[in-house]
Structure 1
Amino acid sequence: MSQQVISRVTTGMRVVDSTGVEVGTVDLVQRGDPNAVTVQAPAGVDPGGSLDELIESAAVEEPDVPADLAARLLRSGYLKVSTELAHTGAVYVLADRIATVTDAEVRLDVPAAQLPEEE
């Protein structure tokens, strides 16, 4: 279901949370890949390094969140939303948090405060 909903979202659409607060505008739409795996170590990386070092060395551009959340976002699909509500200027929305999509607006089923911020 969430894949059908996310396929109707386009960049530039307004995003509104469950309380009616305008979150911002869609910056990136990424459909889910149920086969997405967690970040794997590139060759030559110290296997004893921390997960954060591993992710940095893999140069993962999006989504810019902790590894466990990134894996969930990649599997389910997500929106990156430009917003003034986050100090980093962007939040991520899991596809299954999209309640409805109209021609001009994406309405979420959670309040903006629950959306993970870009790191």
Structure 2
Amino acid sequence: MTRQDTEAQTVIGRVTTGMRVVDAAGAEVGTVDLVQRGDPNAVTVQAPTADPGSSLDELIESVTVEEPDVPADLAARLLRSGYLKITDSGRAVYALAEQIDTVADREVRLSVPTADLAPEE
């Protein structure tokens, strides 16, 4: 793990759900819905390939969404780095651990504008 990775893990470790999130310009992004620390060994995310079948249990299981809900290549990067899922009025975006600038006073300040965050699919 590089020094930058270690610092990002230290910063994300101070984030808790419910914290207010603002972007680099100070604009409100939303609140932290999920905090996921990084796993440098995370390589891939696989979507289910099985036919959902006909039973209600199988159908429910087939539509259960795994986090993060983004394209597989980005999901792998988020899992390796660590991420925040940020929600606001029903929409959600993801921020990489290294996109967190500071955590203070129940607020997370990002180092990027909201437009640079990955939207949930």
TM-score by length of structure 2 reads 0.78
Partner of 2:24: 18
Does the CA contact (< 8 Å) of 2:46 and 2:72 recur in 1?
no
- Which amino acid is 2:23 matched to? D
**Distance change >3 Å, CA 41–CA 100, structure 1 → 2:** closer
**DSSP-derived class of the 1:4 partner:** helix
1:110, CA displacement in angstroms? 0.4
- Counterpart check, 1:64 vs 2:69: yes
Q: Deviations over 1:17-64 (max 9, x none)?
A: 00110000000000000001202577x86xxxxxxxxxxx7x651000
Q: Which runs of 5+ in 2 are unaligned?
A: 1-6, 51-61
Q: Deviations over 1:83-110 (max 9, x none)?
A: 24xxx61000000000000031000000
1:114, CA displacement in angstroms? 1.1
**DSSP-derived class of the 2:119 partner:** coil
Number of aligned residue pairs: 105
**DSSP-derived class of the 2:16 partner:** coil
Take 2:21 and 2:87, find their aligned partners in 1: how far apart are those partners?
A: 9
Take 2:28 and 2:108, find their aligned partners in 1: how far apart are those partners?
A: 10
Q: Which runs of 5+ in 1 are unaligned?
A: 46-56
Take 1:113 and 1:93, find their aligned partners in 2: how far apart are those partners?
A: 11
Take 2:43 and 2:116, find their aligned partners in 1: how far apart are those partners?
A: 25
